[in-house]
Amino acid sequence: MLALRLTRAARPAVQLRRLLVAAATGGTGFLMLACLGYAMGHPERAGAAALRLAWCTVPFAATVYFALAVARTDPGTRSRPGLSAVGLGPARLMAVSALTTALSCALGSLLALLVFLHLRGDLTGMPFDGAAADFLAADLPLPVPAVLTLLTLLPAAASTTVALSLRPKDPRPAAPGRRGYGRFGAYGQAVARETFGAYGRFGARFGRRTADDAPSPDDDSGRPRPGADRPAAEDTGARPSAEGGGQDSGKGSGKGSGRPAGGRTGETASVAADGAGPVPGGVRDSGTRTPDMAWSDITARPAKDSPVGFPWGVALLTSGLAVQSYAHRSNLVVLTGWLLTATGLVLAAPGLTHFCGRLLQSIRPGALRLLAGRVLMTEATRIGRPLGVVSAVASAGYAMTMLYAGSAPAFGPLTTLGALLVTGCTVATVLTAAVETRQCRADTTAALLRLGAPAGTLRAAAALRAAALLALFAPLTLVVAAVAELPVPR
């Protein structure tokens, strides 16, 4: 009920994006139903029917990615202060986003079923003089379980993707590596090695204190500490002085306390920092870490300088290009190579966007270039992935056109519909990502305007970012398309 109310009360721009998701879902669902009709009408061509259904994965993936981009820009499901008090925490808002996406996709699947039944003549008679009877199996009854399975695939995949992408994340940093266990159940990351017998050695647990914070023989509770009543004359070992210079005798060290300044008795053998063994006859100076002090549960995490995934993206991109080069126009191999290339471009695009922002700030930048480059570096992942999808779609279309020029059959209605779906979802995803980036930078833009930054400067920075991205990704798309269409000599 809450998802329905948020869907109804949204602004016109949000409703338009949801209707676009429904339209894309309807088109993809109709393509899958058309593949089912072709398989029913041509049972002897099972391989061709399976290949048609495999090609539907391209508009399927484009539609799911577009639905995710729309869910991320939905203002009704954005976390705000005070919503957790009324039961709308991050988990509840994530569930609302998933349900809203499922409603939009379910509407599109219903429209696809109605159009499919209308073209088959099951509702009002055969339209278009029976032109669609060949690939829709109009004279055969539809298997209801197969139809329901195909129509529920996309809403389930889209809502699951939205739920996984928008799930609440723990703001605390994760512990790097496996947790180790030290003496008496102490846990953390070990820096120094333990030596044999360190567990049972008397006074080993009192080695944490240094000469600067050495306690008095009696603590605040009035109870004497172990070894505090031992006379200073029993200190036979030498220890370093407070200045770190020469060695003092044990007699002078017990003045007023009866205990060495390091917090341990002279009879207690200290353990070397490198774990080589005990150091007889004294204690170490205050700057040396003891084995107990070597266990720490806090490890500094290096800050991320650039988006991850760039090496994997380059590897997948080169693998996809190699597969396409050796495909010899085999449809299934071409599809596999194109999917590898597209995945590689999507993974590598955030790193390329981050690198583009660095280039804008190099060689004595001004305020305009600094602002444009810093925004590109900050929004590299949010902007780069849709640009990678656009680059993959454009390079694949250009390569297909050049590779099959003059030899490919004319595009039919279903092929045209699939191409329009992929292109439309890709362009809409880029525009939606631009809207999301603008929403995320709304506070920063307002702060710059309050500080007196001209609005023309902000528009110029946006134009500079667009020009820099176009100058980087346009040649990359042409290079990938040119390499994909290169013939391999045998």
DSSP tag of 218: B
Q: What is the mean pLDDT of residues 123-133?
A: 66
Taking residues 291-309, report their average pLDDT.
50
Element containing residue 270 per DSSP (H, E): strand 270-271
Least confident of 80-94, 307-321, 353-367, 437-451: 80-94
Question: For residue 441, what pLDDT band results from cuts at 50, 70 and 90?
Answer: confident
Instruction: Please report which confidence band the pLDDT of residue 291 belongs to, taking 50, 70 and 90 as the band edges.
Output: very low
Determine the average pLDDT of the residues in 225-230. Answer: 48
Question: Given this model, what pLDDT does residue 429 score?
Answer: 93
CB atoms within 10 A of CB 475: 10
Q: Over the chain, what is the mean pLDDT?
A: 74
Percent of the chain residues past pLDDT 70, beyond the cut: 61
User: Averaged over 280-289, what is the pLDDT?
Assistant: 46
- Provide, for the chain, the percentages of residues in helix, strand and coil under a 3-state DSSP scheme, each rounded to the nearest 5: 60, 5, 35
Q: Which residues on neighbouring strands pair with residue 181, listed in sequence order?
A: 187
Taking the C-alpha atoms of residue 257 and residue 122, their distance in angstroms, rounded to an integer, is 101
Mean pLDDT value of segment 401-428: 77
Judged against a pLDDT cut of 80, whether residue 306 lies above it is answered with no
Q: Range with the lowest mean pLDDT among 133-142, 258-267, 319-328, 341-350?
A: 258-267
Residue 451 has a pLDDT of 87
Q: How confident is the model at residue 229 (pLDDT cuts 50, 70, 90)?
A: very low
Q: How confident is the model at residue 465 (pLDDT cuts 50, 70, 90)?
A: very high
pLDDT value at residue 193: 56
Summarised one tens digit per residue, pLDDT across range 238-248 is 444 444 444 44
Looking at per-residue pLDDT, the higher value among 68 and 137 belongs to: 68
pLDDT digits (tens, 9 = 90+) for 10-55: 678 888 999 999 999 999 999 999 999 888 888 888 888 888 888 8
Residues 206, 217 contacting (CB under 8 angstroms): no
Read off the pLDDT of residues 164-182 as tens digits, 9 standing for 90 and up.
988 887 665 555 555 555 5
Of the candidates 66, 98, 72, the residue with the CA atom closest to the CA atom of residue 163: 98
Strands 239-240 and 247-248, bridge-based pairing: antiparallel
Q: In this predicted structure, what is the pLDDT of residue 147? A: 93
Unique residue bearing structure tokens 């590898």: 340
Q: Which residues of 261-294 are buried (b: 16+ CB within 10 A; e: fewer)?
A: bbbbbbebbbbbbeeeeeeeebbbebebebbbeb
Note the pLDDT of residue 228. 46
Question: Residue 141's pLDDT is what?
Answer: 86
